[in-house]
Amino acid sequence: MPALPEYLTRTLLGNFGVPVVDGYFVMTGDDLPVELPELPIFLKAQIPGATSRKKHGLVRKVETISEFHSNLDELLSPGDWGQADGVLLAKGLNLKAEYYAGCMLDFGSQKQLPGGILLFSTEGGSGVEGRSGTLVKIPFSLLTPIDAEGIAEELAVIDTLKNPEIIAAFLKGLISTFVGYRLTVLEVNPIGVLSDGSLTAVDCRAEFEKAAVKKTEKDLFFPPGLKSSTDLTQLEQTVELINIADPAGTGFFRQNRETPPDKALRVATNLCGGGGKMLWEMTTGLRTDIYTMNESDTSGGLSAFKSYRILRTIFAQKGAQVLLLTGSGMAFQNQHHLAAAVWKALRETPTPLPTLLRFGGTDEDKARELFERISADLPVPVKTYPAEIFPNVMVDDIEAIAMQNPPHVQPPSSPEGEPVIRVEVPPGDIYFYPDKWKSDEEPPSFSACPTGYLLWNNGELQINPEAKCIGCLMCETASLLEGNGEIRIHLEMPAEVD
């Protein structure tokens, strides 16, 4: 899902009456304001999708005019981080305390309608490691969102909280912004508590779905005249091509341009949805012992074919020591299909990584069961976690599972012969080997097809013209686990990844 940087998110919050710290946005290439805010001020580079900006030197406090100009020039020029949209000049504040708040979308399940979740913690700012223990989760309806009074009642579980009504009113504004602009993620971190007890949004960011942006709001989300960089790495270009060929669902991938700190663990990530990104950020925060190789987001009901291709790209990153995959725990994508994609990527990549997997959503139990069956035969260790586990437990396990030099293996050869089906979208080739299934009974690979696209006709494969292939990989998975390898799927990858 596209990310909205702070300077744009501030406008959305302001439109719903949420107080934000005074600031002025300087777009790259623009003139400076005639009157500068009073020093000291903070210069904050505005880069869509960037997190942990303070850690990466993208937020700087300046005390003098010469510091101001030199730092501003540097942040407006292309750097390790790419090209910023511009720099936000924000007033420095004396804060009594810092809180954290976020809203995210809960895609729901067969038993529960979609809705929103409000997160609040009295542990705000950059020192976030301990936040998971103080986090309050408040589910709310998108049609009739919870009011300030209801939020205040929920906050009563934090017995140290002073002025819960003031906080509840602020959080209500947050929910109104989230629902009003149909966002998928909205985060304010920190919420600053001023000396008079009032609150202000000091830093914020959002994520959204392009299709949910109204015509009248286009300029708020896609401001005209931006000069931000399009200098994509080779692997990022690969993901662009994957998205063009298979546009359904989100497939976002951006590599870290910085140099990993010495001895930091280099973690490749597959984060599912804005919730997954938020949890990763919350659990790694300012940790310098963990270097995130890439940002990623696979969500919104993408096919397993697409998940596989993006995973193969993530595995192809040089220097990665481990892969961590997690969502918010409520994914829209069927988790068994996702697990099939992870398994296929692990057995077909020449550069598999030790892997930590947290499945959450429909068929999450089947996803974990799949890995219980096949983990022993993989060239790298794999550990799975249930959705109830907060990702900080996974983060704690990274060091134990990471390999300094993960193996380089010879992947299996592509299926032989000609495919019997070439699926156009999502693109993939299906091979059928009748010699491998002599029985008259329908093989498990056919009965596993959830759409009924594959039909068994006396030992022959037929396509049901009424059905569609959704690229779920269930046929191949069942063929390898329950059958004799009679169905194979080949998913073409760009040469850069192989």
Residues that bind ligand SF4 (CB under 6 A): 448-449, 451, 453-454, 469-475
Considering the complex, what minimum distance in angstroms separates the CB of residue 451 from ligand SF4? 5
**CA-to-CA distance for 452 and 26, rounded, in angstroms?**
56
* Tokens at 429, concatenated: 């080739």
Q: Which residues contact 364 (CB under 8 A, 6 or more apart)?
A: 335, 386, 387
**Residue 351 CB neighbours (<10 A):** 18
DSSP state of 477: H
The CB-of-114 to ligand SF4 minimum distance in angstroms stands at 24
Q: Between 120 and 432, name the residue whose CB sits nearer to ligand SF4.
A: 432
Cβ proximity to ligand SF4: between 83 and 445 the closer is: 445
If 0-12 CB within 10 Å is exposed, 13-18 middle and 19+ buried, where does residue 279 land? buried
> Cβ 495 to ligand SF4, closest distance in Å?
24
**Minimum distance of ligand SF4 from residue 464's CB (angstroms):** 10
Q: Where are the alpha helices (DSSP H) in 136-258?
A: 148-155, 164-180, 218-221, 234-245
Calculate helix-pair angle for 474-481, 335-348, nearest 10 degrees.
70
Please identify, using beta-carbon distances, which residue of 354 and 428 lies nearer to ligand SF4. Answer: 428
Q: Least distance from C-beta 453 to ligand SF4, angstroms?
A: 5
Closest contact distance (angstroms) between CB of 436 and ligand SF4 is: 16
The nearer residue to ligand SF4, 140 or 437, going by C-beta atoms, is 437
CA atoms of 426 and 389, how far apart (whole Å): 32
Nearest to 99 by CA among 196, 189, 20: 189
Alpha-carbon distance values, 200 to 4, 60, 282 (Å): 19, 20, 20
Strands 322-327 and 265-272: parallel
Q: In whole angstroms, how close is the CB of 384 to ligand SF4 at the nearest point?
A: 22
What is the distance between the alpha carbons of residues 390 and 378, in angstroms, rounded to a whole number?
A: 26
CB of 423 to ligand SF4, least distance (A): 7
DSSP string, 70-117: HHHHHHHS-BTTB--SEEEEEE----SEEEEEEEEEE---SSS--EEE
Q: Which residues 6+ apart lie within 8 Å of 191 measured at CB?
A: 98, 99, 100, 101, 124, 170, 199, 200, 201, 202
Residue 242 vs 394, nearer CB to ligand SF4: 242
Shortest distance (Å) from residue 106 CB to ligand SF4? 26
Nearer to ligand SF4, 275 or 444 (CB): 444
For ligand SF4, which is the closer residue by CB, 332 or 431?
431
- Tell me the C-alpha distance between 301 and 210, whole Å: 15
Least distance (Å) from ligand SF4 to the CB of residue 484?
16
Beta bridge partners of 207: 3, 185
Does the CA dihedral 227-201-390-248 come out positive or negative?
negative
Output 158 or 420, the one with its CB closest to ligand SF4. Answer: 420
Nearer Cβ to ligand SF4 (398/474): 474
Least CB distance to ligand SF4 at residue 426 (A): 9
Whichever of 28 and 298 has its CB closer to ligand SF4, that residue is 298
Q: Which is nearer to ligand SF4, 279 or 474 (CB)?
A: 474
Which tokens go with 225? 């005249």
Q: What is the largest CA-CA distance in the chain?
A: 83
In terms of CB distance, is 394 or 475 closer to ligand SF4?
475
Judge whether 238 and 34 are in contact, CB under 8 Å: no
CB of 481: closest distance to ligand SF4 in angstroms? 13
